[in-house]
Each structure stands twice: as structure tokens, then as C-alpha cells.
Amino acid sequence: MLVQCPHCGQPVVVNGLGRKAFNIPVTNVYDALRLRRSVLAAANELGCSRAYIYKVLKANGMTPADVIKGLATKDTRMLYKGAESDGLSE
């Protein structure tokens, strides 16, 4: 990427700006959280922050408590909230 130097005005080649994204899959976050049963321990295992764990789970409609208690799964996101819905009852 070429950017203009603020001091001399010459074009300067830069190899990207900022930090690279983690891109840890939600399945890895889910597995670490189920195994460790703590957001802090899961974050340490994955090498990311606690906030990143919350962000990934929120983007997928889950909370850490739901994952730890087994109310959320990798496949169906949320099994139920309060009552199980099997589609047979109204």
C-alpha cells in the first residue's frame, strides 16, 4: 500500500496498517468455554481477551452462561430459553 509521507510528501510503501484480526471460529470459542467453564480461562487458552469471547458469542446469539450450562449448542445456537420448543405444541 502506498501512503504519502506527512513530512516530505514522497510516496512510502507500507505493509498494512493496524493489527490483524483474530478470526477465531465460534466453534473453538464454544469448545474452550465448555471445557474451561470460565470466560477468563477460555480467553487464556485461545490467546485472546475476555471481551473478544463475549463479542464472538454475542454475534452468534449466545451468552457465556448459556454455553456453560448447555443451553446453547454449536449447531442450533440456542436450544431453548425457558421452555423447550419441539415444534409439536403450540
Interval 32-55: pLDDT, tens: 999 999 999 999 999 999 999 999
Report yes or no: 51 and 33 within 8 Å, Cβ to Cβ.
no
Which is higher by pLDDT, 53 or 6? 53
In a domain, 14, yes or no: no
Could you say which DSSP state residue 34 is in?
Answer: H
pTM for the complete prediction? 0.64
Give the separation between CA 68 and CA 54, rounded to whole angstroms: 13
In a domain, 9, yes or no: no
How many structural domains are present in the chain? 1
In a domain, 64, yes or no: yes
Closest to 80 measured CA to CA, from 88, 72, 69: 72
In a domain, 27, yes or no: yes
In a domain, 90, yes or no: no
Domain range for 69 is 22-78
For the stretch 56-73, pLDDT in tens is 999 988 899 999 998 877
Q: How many helices (H) and strands (E) does the chain have?
A: 4, 4
